[in-house]
Chains A and B, each alone.
Chain A
Amino acid sequence: MGIKGLTKLLADNAPKAMKEQKFESYFGRKIAIDASMSIYQFLIVVGRTGMETLTNEAGEVTSHLQGMFNRTIRLLEAGIKPVYVFDGKPPDMKKEELAKRFSKREDATNDLKEAVEAGDKDAVEKLSKRTVKVTAQHNDDCKRLLRLMGVPVVEAPSEAEAECAALCKNDKVFAVASEDMDSLTFGAPRFLRHLMDPSSKKIPVMEFDVAKVLEELELTMDQFIDLCILCGCDYCDSIKGIGGQTALKLIRQHGSIESILENLNKDRYQIPEDWPYQEARRLFKEPNVTLDVPELKWTPPDEEGLISFLVKDNGFNEDRVTKAIEKIKSAKNKSSQGRLESFFKPVATTSAPLKRKETSDKTSKAAAANKKTKAGGKKK
């Protein structure tokens, strides 16, 4: 899933690109959320103990609805305006990755059977999580729920991540929320992690700023995409023996995968025989997205619809749903609070910090030096 080890690589090499933010500080902001990823998390986490999950009378799983309902209300109560983006058709390149996940799930299902027979509770707990799959039905349920709640839904032509990034690039939303680091590779200017974590975990939201990532890593966006492909992405294999740190070093040294391939010691590193990195790069750079989305609108909830869907069809407690609807309605009031940034624009400060940052001088010099070498490189 996502880009292997990118979080750690950024924490080590671009700490200034990551900022911890309070959940509350995103009020009034429109945020695109990768729905499939969230649904997957809900299915794993919400109301699950061992093989037992939340179900309705017909025995269908309702964890995703419970999760989606509660988490979305939490966002609305904080004054956040969420937009959920659903996956469309996966790109052909991802099929291999999906097939791998499918076979892993198969294995887990088989192991699970054995574990259940053996009565190994820990293994059941662990393996049952691995058998979780988001089906079209889950997606449709959530879409229906969100529409009833008055929350906009966007259906991506292909990858939800890419669509989220495109919405953010075009200022349709303030930021993208996902747990998948792909968002950065797709160039989402602002990317949030842990926004959808349960409040009980008390994990602050981690905000990534792509421009700062590039500045700190001293890479161009194209080089960053190459770096992500080298780290290992969903679209193709990576070179065995090259992890994040080495990949960063190589990219800084050679500038692109092509040039790395020319200079790499082929005896030491085995390059996959069929390695469609160019194709992967194209998917990150020009993903199949659409900006032709309907205007994002947050409307009042459809109370009757919600009660009929959640209480009658899915066995939710009526009192809770009614209370939750009240919450959605009162949250509307909160979202009307304006933010200062919509009136005043940020400016640069002129005063230097008294407390000297040991590294700041060094890095700025290094960045300047790097720019020179880059410029020189182009001339050749």
Chain B
Amino acid sequence: MLELRLVQGSLLKKVLEAIRELVTDANFDCSGTGFSLQAMDSSHVALVALLLRAEGFEHYRCDRNLSMGMNLNNMAKMLRCAGNDDIITIKADDGSDTVTFMFESPKQDKIADFEMKLMDIDSEHLGIPDSEYQAIVRMPSAEFMRICKDLSSIGDTVVISVTKEGVKFSTSGEIGSANIVCRQNQTIDKPEEATIIEMQEPVSLTFALRYMNSFTKASSLSEQVTISLSSELPVVVEYKIAEMGYIRFYLAPKIEEDEEMKA
């Protein structure tokens, strides 16, 4: 038996819109601690990890650890039927092969039940160790989205370099090249506009912009985005979800060709 009541239903709608481009089918895992998802894109380059902690729900009941395989496009279709102010409740019975989404209007004058078929998804779960990152950049999510969008009109890849000066995003393509540098900026009165760089050592990594652009679909969830970088590790692009959890995107870097390949 599973029953999760989320007052701010729009969060779930936004989460779905943020990940459905990257992943088509995924298992949602439910445990006593929270509602989570981990899934890779079909080419195993990017991974999305979602966590909505149990405390963030108005009512949270999950008797045993469960996983529910869902087609995210279908799930998004159903959630689009919920109003932005609706309360969303996710319900499932043991042994059932469906999940029910219940949408309640804020005034309680309309209740809608949407039942969706579940699917068997054979997915690999990756163990992600906690790592110390060489550089952590926190910046306005809208700014990051703009940078990725702008750069992708010039090139396919972005080099993200963090130095004492700030964080630099650069690309180059057939028509030319571009460099965008963001400096540390701690605006006291508007924390959501701050750019904060914590650097242990300088780091520079290359990523495919296609994926970065897809990650920025989560910008509506949070004013700020955190980008954690380490050489030899996938980048983590994290959006916090209203005190109750996060959505994290991991992206494997482009690797420098072997010496022989360059020759």
Contact = CB atoms under 8 A, between A and B. Distances in A.
Interface of A: 16, 19, 22, 24-25, 27, 297-300, 332, 336-357
Going nearest first, the 3 A-B pairs with the smallest beta carbon separation are A351-B65, A338-B252, A347-B127
B208 interface: yes
A349 B123 CA distance: 10
Contact of A338 (B30, B126, B255): B255
B254 A340 contact: no
Interface string B24-47: 000101110000000010111111
Contact of B67 (A27, A300, A352): A352
Given A352-B67, A355-B68, A347 B126 contact: yes
Interface string B60-74: 000011111100000
Given A332-B257, A351-B67, A22 B42 contact: yes
Contact of A343 (B96, B97, B252, B261): B252
Contact of A25 (B42, B69, B97, B250): B42
Contacts of B260: 297, 299
B21 interface: no
Interface string B240-261: 0000000000101111111011
A338 B118 CA distance: 32
Contacts of A350: 31, 65
Nearest to A353: B67
Interface in B84-108: 92, 94-97, 99
Contacts, number: 116
B67 A24 contact: no
Contacts of A336: 254-257
Given A339-B252, A340-B234, A340-B252, A355 B125 contact: no
B175 interface: no
A345 B127 contact: yes
Contact of A356 (B47, B95, B126): B95
A353 B261 contact: no
A274 to B, nearest CB: 45
Question: Mostly helix, strand, loop or mixed at chain A's interface?
Answer: loop
B234 A300 contact: no
A338 B45 contact: yes
Contacts of A347: 125-127
B208 to A, nearest CB: 6
A355 B46 contact: no
Question: Mostly helix, strand, loop or mixed at chain B's interface?
Answer: loop
Contact of B40 (A19, A340, A349, A352): A340
B126 A344 contact: yes
Nearest to A29: B44
Contact of B43 (A24, A298, A352, A356): A24
Nearest to B128: A344
B31 A337 contact: no
B128 A349 contact: no
Contacts of B189: none
B109 interface: no
B126 A345 contact: yes
Which of B40, B45, B69, B208 gathers most chain A CB within 10 Å?
A: B45
A354 B68 contact: yes
Contacts of A351: 29-31, 65-67
Nearest to B122: A19
B236 to A, nearest CB: 11
B263 interface: yes
29 contacts: A19-B122, A22-B42, A25-B44, A299-B260, A338-B255, A339-B44, A340-B45, A340-B46, A340-B250, A343-B232, A344-B128, A344-B250, A346-B126, A347-B126, A347-B127, A348-B125, A349-B27, A349-B67, A351-B65, A352-B65, A352-B67, A353-B67, A353-B68, A353-B69, A354-B92, A354-B96, A354-B99, A354-B118, A355-B120
B48 to A, nearest CB: 11
B228 to A, nearest CB: 13
B44 A341 contact: yes
B233 interface: yes
A332 B261 contact: yes
